[in-house]
């Protein structure tokens, strides 16, 4: 009995000592852990910003300009220098760890709790407010004559054949009298369709959503039904109707080129493009349209008018004329007369601003059996890099920007893209025709990312913004939900379902992982310089000139 008691006591003592040692090890590990584990990603991005002394390539310019002299350019230069000084000071403070305004503190977390607060914080971030390169006279798409001869004054006045439908417009050098759509046209530059924080955007979207429609005709060409709507102030918008429910996924057995276009995809693409900092999709707004009063009764398109009919349940339907899906079997039907649609502001007329169409190097074969060259040649990008216009300038990284947008919204139908002819090969790519996006949330399409995977090239500003959107306080799904909530159709139903929003976060991680693999693959002599294209080098010159 004495021996057994001694054994039990020794065992208990051993267990007690072991527990004390285990508790000591746990306490030691906790002591060495950071108090805020979420701070590292934020600090990592800000360190990258401080290293480059630069962020976005976006132009922080006026909404539009009359190009009447050099004084405005000087003012913009002074404003840019002031912004660079402020940013340089802020980044220096961050590098020293003293910038509390951009750290993940409790106050900052509270300021971005709601989606709208996150969106506002995102657009206030230095990555979205960097001064762009100087905007010269030739960098504007359109110009307004500063002085008009007496013999030319008649050209400044638009008079409609139907005074009841259109307003008499006397437009001259007084920019305050220009309607929102004209201000948008005059604000298009070599680098973007509209500037960040454009004050004209609210007026423009309000016009698209509320102004009276005075004309509706079918736009020729294309594979599916779309109309051109006109407003009393001569503004025009591209109309795409609702064809299926928002939460209805594309059938797995349906090829991408046989898919329906979606009105909510056009709207969501505009918002996503703006959140990514591109500003290359024309503004799009959702609207409830009365198909009888605002299309059938006012259209002068007799072919379109003949396609209206009433369904067996009393809904007014029409189908127009087009290559595909324009038949009674694929008619667009209202409920009973109200129809959801997207309205995208029209770009300047081709007679004023010609555009060039480019065939995408990674265009799909549009065949059910044949593969495209890029699908069978892993080194395909090396050939593209030797081809005009991808052999110089920023066209390749511009294309990669578009690829990332398409992957995030799962758009496989990017066979062509357009640029403004005036700017040649030194300009951004227009992100038009996004109706086949957001068709499937349950499956990602990795082949869309083939250009990024094969070329391993991405803009620094794009890469930094993507990393920013992966952080909890700027999460892509949250800011996207908040941005879409400002569209008029949100009152009917959310424009993107929660599974689609969740898919955005998942796909964003895939993009960042792809870039990381590229950096590992090119970790030789030049390392990241081979992958990350520094589009912000001009800021160093601004810092020097600012003193």
Residues 179, 184, 190: CA angle, nearest 5 degrees = 155
| Identified catalytic residue from 413, 478, 487, 535 | 413
What are the residues whose beta carbons fall under 8 Å from the beta carbon of 154, sequence distance 6 or more? none
Per-residue DSSP letters for 87-104?
Answer: HHHHHHHHHTT--GGGS-
Residue 413 is a catalytic residue:
yes
Q: Is 418 annotated as contributing to ligand binding?
A: yes
Q: Is 346 annotated as contributing to ligand binding?
A: yes
Q: Is 433 annotated as contributing to ligand binding?
A: yes
Per the CB < 8 A criterion, the answer to whether 431 and 280 are in contact is yes
Neighbours of 268 (CB within 10 A): 28
How many angstroms separate the CA atoms of 484 and 88, rounded? 33
Q: Is 224 annotated as contributing to ligand binding?
A: yes
* Residue of 84, 104, 60, 100 lying closest to 198 (CA atoms): 60
Q: Is 528 annotated as contributing to ligand binding?
A: no
Q: Is 344 annotated as contributing to ligand binding?
A: yes
Per the CB < 8 A criterion, the answer to whether 396 and 457 are in contact is yes
Residues 52, 53, 56: CA angle, nearest 5 degrees = 85
Q: Is 240 annotated as contributing to ligand binding?
A: yes
Give 328-361 as a 3 state SS string.
HHHCEECCCCEEEEEEEECCCCCCCCCEEEEECC
Q: Collect contacts of 360-365 with beta carbons under 8 A, ≥24 apart.
A: 360/399, 360/414, 360/415, 360/416, 360/417, 361/387, 361/390, 361/399, 361/451, 362/403, 362/450, 362/451, 363/414, 363/415, 363/416, 364/256, 364/257, 364/412, 364/415
What are the residues whose beta carbons fall under 8 Å from the beta carbon of 404, sequence distance 6 or more? 276, 449, 452, 458, 462, 466, 511
The continuous run of DSSP H or E covering 458 comes out as strand 458-459
Q: Is 445 annotated as contributing to ligand binding?
A: no
Output phi, psi for 230, to 5 deg: -120, 145
Q: Is 520 annotated as contributing to ligand binding?
A: no
Annotated binding site for Mn(2+): 261, 433
Annotated binding site: 224, 240, 261, 344-347, 418, 433
Active site residues: 413
Annotated binding site for ATP: 224, 240, 261, 344-347, 418, 433
């Amino acid at each position: 009995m004495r021996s057994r008691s001694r054994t039990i006591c020794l065992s208990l003592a051993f267990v007690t000592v072991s527990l004390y040692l285990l508790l000591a090890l746990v306490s030691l590990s906790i002591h060495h852990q950071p108090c805020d584990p979420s701070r590292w990603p934020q600090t990592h991005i800000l360190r990258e910003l401080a290293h480059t002394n630069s962020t976005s390539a976006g132009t922080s310019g006026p909404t539009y300009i009359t190009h009447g002299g050099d004084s405005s350019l000087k003012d913009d230069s002074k404003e840019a220098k002031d912004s660079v000084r402020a940013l340089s000071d802020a980044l220096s403070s961050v590098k020293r760890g003293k910038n509390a305004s951009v750290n993940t503190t409790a106050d900052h977390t509270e300021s971005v709790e709601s989606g709208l607060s996150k969106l506002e914080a995102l657009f206030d971030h230095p990555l979205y407010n960097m001064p762009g390169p100087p905007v010269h006279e030739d960098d504007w798409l359109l110009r307004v004559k500063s002085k008009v001869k007496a013999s030319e004054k008649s050209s400044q006045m638009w008079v409609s054949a139907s005074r009841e439908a259109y307003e008499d417009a006397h437009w001259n050098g007084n920019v305050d009298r220009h309607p929102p759509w004209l201000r948008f046209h005059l604000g298009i530059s070599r680098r973007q369709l509209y500037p960040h924080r454009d004050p004209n955007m609210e007026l423009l979207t309000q016009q698209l959503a509320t102004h009276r429609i005075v004309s509706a005709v079918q736009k020729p060409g294309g594979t599916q039904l779309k109309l051109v709507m006109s407003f009393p102030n001569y503004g025009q918008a591209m109309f795409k109707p609702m064809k299926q429910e928002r939460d209805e996924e594309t059938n797995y057995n349906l090829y991408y080129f046989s898919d329906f276009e979606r009105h909510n995809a056009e709207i969501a693409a505009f918002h996503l493009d703006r959140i990514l900092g591109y500003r290359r999709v024309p503004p799009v707004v959702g609207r409830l349209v009365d198909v009888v009063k605002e299309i059938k009764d006012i259209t002068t398109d007799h072919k379109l008018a003949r396609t209206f009919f009433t369904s067996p349940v009393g809904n007014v339907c029409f189908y127009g004329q087009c290559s595909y899906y324009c038949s009674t079997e694929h008619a667009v039907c209202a409920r009973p007369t109200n129809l959801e649609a997207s309205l995208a502001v029209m770009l300047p007329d081709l007679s004023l601003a010609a555009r060039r169409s480019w065939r995408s190097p990674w265009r799909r074969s549009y065949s059910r059996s044949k593969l495209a060259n890029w699908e069978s040649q892993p080194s395909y990008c090396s050939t593209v890099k030797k081809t005009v216009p991808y052999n110089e300038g920023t066209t390749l990284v511009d294309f990669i920007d578009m690829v990332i947008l398409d992957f995030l919204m799962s758009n496989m139908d990017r066979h062509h893209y357009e640029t403004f002819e005036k700017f040649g090969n030194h300009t951004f790519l227009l992100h038009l025709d996004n109706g086949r996006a957001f068709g499937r949330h349950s499956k990602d399409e990795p082949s869309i990312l083939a250009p990024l995977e094969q070329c391993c090239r991405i803009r620094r500003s794009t890469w930094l913004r993507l990393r920013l959107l992966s952080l909890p306080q700027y999460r892509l799904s949250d800011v996207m939900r908040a941005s879409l909530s400002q569209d008029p159709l949100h009152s009917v139903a959310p424009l993107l379902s929660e599974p689609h929003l969740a898919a955005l976060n998942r796909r964003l991680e895939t993009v960042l992982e792809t870039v990381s693999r590229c950096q590992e693959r090119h970790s030789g002599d030049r390392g990241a310089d081979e992958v990350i294209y520094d589009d912000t080098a001009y800021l160093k010159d601004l810092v020097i000139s600012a003193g």
